[in-house]
Amino acid sequence: MKVMKQLVFVVVILVALSASCWGGDTTDEDALGKKAKPQPGFNYFLLALTWPNQFCLSKPCKPSVPKQSFTIHGLWPQYTPSKYPSQCQTNIVLSDDDLVNLKDNYELLEYWPDLKNGGDFNASKSFWKYEWNKHGTCSSNKFTPLQYFQKSIDLAKKYSDKIYNALINKGVIPNGTQYRNLDILNAVTEGIGFVPTTGVTDQGRALSEIRLCVKDDAVTLFDCDKLTFAAPPSPSPSPSTSESQYPSSRSTRWWVSSVLEAVHNI
Ligand SMILES: *[C@@H]1O[C@H](CO)[C@@H](O)[C@H](O)[C@H]1NC(C)=O
Ligand SMILES: *[C@@H]1O[C@H](CO)[C@@H](O)[C@H](O)[C@H]1NC(C)=O
């Protein structure tokens, strides 16, 4: 029973990840086009921090060997771990002026780079606009696009290096050695003082992201194993279930976690 629950959770994470990929996710948009768009609203955020080396093993990146630190994939409004609103009904767009402001005053390219177009601001715009349209709009009942990006970057400034250092300090070095998921979780929990979600890995079992749970103020972390939120009563769009395109190549180049280790239930 316990094992089953964990397997289900891992699958849910993979589905969520495959539905939240870096731009150009047209199947998801097609599916959503047939449904009414949800109103903005959510219970908490997931801050998805990418380990760039793993991302860039399966996708062409510029530069091909990125900076050795966790970067923002997105800040995602969630109802529960497996239910989240997306593409919410709103006219609020992320403007080019906001992006220029974020680049010039908020280190957007440093903390939230489009790894595929690293450093090329113009080419990266579609990634940030994609993340705002798909996820950010569902928090537009609380935040403007500028605030949403500023708060995301503030979170990354506070926690990315802490996570990296916590792993290194605990001997979890990205050198191809396999590490237990539990050891990764314990190191991160000790380093930042909060429990992240179970490790998100690709099918090769290599760590690709660390995800943190953030209250709806987009500032305060809480333990991901203490989620008590219920799904909304009205039907909300669930993520697409086509997870089959997930990359299957086995990688042992970076942090590798076995996933088989019992962690905790959510
Ligand atoms: C980016 O786009 C702006 C406006 O579209 C243009 O003025 C600028 O030259 C572009 N920058 C680069 C580096 O291509
Ligand atoms: C990687 O680092 C770990 C932890 O320091 C160490 O035990 C292991 O021998 C290293 N592996 C390689 C291939 O260097």
**Any atom of ligand 2 within 6 Å of the Cβ of 173:** yes
Which of 49, 53, 57 is closest to 66 using CA atoms? 53
Examine the pLDDT at 247 and tell me if it is beyond 50. Answer: no
Q: How many CA atoms lie within 13 A of 213 on its CB side?
A: 24
Confidence of residue 234 (pLDDT cuts 50, 70, 90): low
Examine the pLDDT at 22 and tell me if it is beyond 90. Answer: no
Token match 């790894």: residue?
115
Amino acid residing at 4 = M
pLDDT (tens digit, 9 = 90+) per residue, 26-49?
344 444 445 688 999 999 999 999
pLDDT (tens digit, 9 = 90+) per residue, 182-221?
888 889 999 999 999 865 555 456 788 899 999 999 999 9
CATH class of the domain defined by 2-257? alpha beta
**Any atom of ligand 2 within 6 Å of the Cβ of 177:** yes
Confidence of residue 153 (pLDDT cuts 50, 70, 90): very high
Q: Which of 107, 135, 209, 243 is catalytic?
A: 135
Examine the pLDDT at 249 and tell me if it is beyond 50. Answer: no
Token match 């250092």: residue?
165
Q: Give the pLDDT score at 134.
A: 97
177 alpha carbon – ligand 2 mean position (Å): 6
Report yes or no on whether pTM surpasses 0.85.
no
**What is the overall mean pLDDT for the chain?**
77
With the CA atoms of 214, 220, 224 and 225 taken in that order, what torsion angle do they form, in degrees rounded to the nearest 10? -150
Average pLDDT in the 92-115 region?
97
More confident residue, 150 or 183: 150
Q: Where are the domains of the chain?
A: 2-257
CA distances from 141 to 99, 108, 115 (A): 20, 23, 29
How is residue 260 written in tokens? Answer: 């088989």
How is residue 258 written in tokens? Answer: 């076995």
Average pLDDT in the 93-120 region?
96
Residue count (the chain): 266
Beta-carbon contacts of 248 under 8 Å, excluding residues fewer than 6 positions away, are 203, 204
Q: Which of 29, 73, 209, 243 is catalytic?
A: 73
